[in-house]
Amino acid sequence: MKSSGQVGRNIALASIFISGALAAVKIVVGLKAHSTSVVSDGVESASDVLASSLVLFGLYMAAKPPDAEHPYGHGRLETLAGMAVGILLAAMGLVISVESLLRATRPHQTPSVFAIWPVLISIVVKGSMYLTKRHYGHKLLSSSLEADAWNDGMDTVSGTVALIGVTLESFNRARFGPADDVGGMIVGIIVIFLGIRIVRDTTYQLMDTMPDPRMLEQIRKVALTVPGARGIEKCFARKTGLQYHVDLHLEVDPQMTVSASHDIATRVRDKIRDDLPWVANVLVHVEPYGLGD
């Protein structure tokens, strides 16, 4: 069976080749058809190649085992890769918006109708890639893969905008004016907001923001299934790459020996790691049950 990291790397690698092919087709056809929105969409797809490369690098580094200098592993590099994707998209969106706006103010040829076809193909392909990456991003708890999924989702939206723009201007320029250039500008704005959202989400993770309360409740329930575990005083978790590190304050019988309480703590740690594969490790602090009341 393939590991989580290997599955994520395979998806990222496939994405690089697909995005590269789509980018080349849209840029070449867009230039020949004199379509700003199609070229903009192609440039955005070209940035996807770099984005997916960053994701691939992050997933590869996150799979490295802990060492003396990195006892918590190298998972944060996967989160940083997701942040880099967001920054790249925001910058690329700004360039696309400005260039489209400038072109709208200058005389230019009406885009050809054949520019529609690569955009239609891109919408279908990118929509499928979004669903695939979103599924595995959630399954593998991969920040960078989820960021790349949002990227593909916005590609579908931006492709739709480009399609509307080039269609309106190519069929009736007299009525709709620079609709193609306006479409290119809207594509850029969409990409900017997507980049900002990704940077925000990955920043939360780097700040050790607590996970969904339902995940913490799962940890508590599993811990309390171990005989001798009387209660959970505190439960904290922080994400490092594809998994979480947990700090658990476990309450046991205050009359119990240190050795016996240590055995229970060890069983609790092992039980959580066995039942919840998204937990990398658990640091258990033993507390006397009932003495705090």
Question: In terms of pLDDT, which residue wins out, 52 or 129?
Answer: 129
- pLDDT reported for residue 227: 94
Same domain membership, residue 101 and residue 164: yes
Same domain membership, residue 260 and residue 186: no
Q: Can you give the CATH number for the domain in which 225 is found?
A: 3.30.70.1350
Mean pLDDT on 120-147: 82
Cα separation of 200 and 147, whole Å? 11
Name the domain boundary from 175, 206, 237.
206
Name the domain boundary from 161, 185, 206.
206
Is residue 293 included in any domain, yes or no?
no
Same domain membership, residue 274 and residue 163: no
Name the domain boundary from 206, 225, 259.
206
Q: Identify the band that residue 1 occupies on the pLDDT scale cut at 50, 70 and 90.
A: very low
Is residue 100 included in any domain, yes or no?
yes
Is residue 220 included in any domain, yes or no?
yes
Per-residue pLDDT of 3-42, as tens digits, reads 556 777 788 788 888 888 888 888 888 888 877 777 877 8
Is residue 45 included in any domain, yes or no?
yes
Longest dimension (CA), the chain: 87
Cα separation of 35 and 44, whole Å? 14
Could you report how far apart the first and last alpha carbons of the chain are, in Å?
49
Determine contact, residues 111/180, Cβ cutoff 8 Å.
yes
Return the SS3 of 239: strand
Mean pLDDT on 186-190: 79
- pLDDT reported for residue 146: 78
Determine contact, residues 276/245, Cβ cutoff 8 Å.
no
Average pLDDT over the chain, rounded to an integer: 81
Same domain membership, residue 199 and residue 79: yes
How many structural domains comprise the chain?
Answer: 2
Dihedral sign from CA coordinates of 133, 148, 50, 79? negative
Q: Identify the band that residue 159 occupies on the pLDDT scale cut at 50, 70 and 90.
A: confident
- Tracing tokens 């490092």 back to the chain, one arrives at 240
Same domain membership, residue 101 and residue 28: yes
Cα separation of 94 and 197, whole Å? 15
Same domain membership, residue 94 and residue 197: yes
CA dihedral defined by 43, 44, 46, 47, rounded to 10 degrees?
Answer: 130
pLDDT at 58 over 80: no
Same domain membership, residue 15 and residue 96: yes
Same domain membership, residue 51 and residue 113: yes
- Domain residues for 79? 4-206
Same domain membership, residue 157 and residue 62: yes
- pLDDT reported for residue 286: 93
Nearest in space to 247 (alpha carbons), one of 272, 230, 229? 272
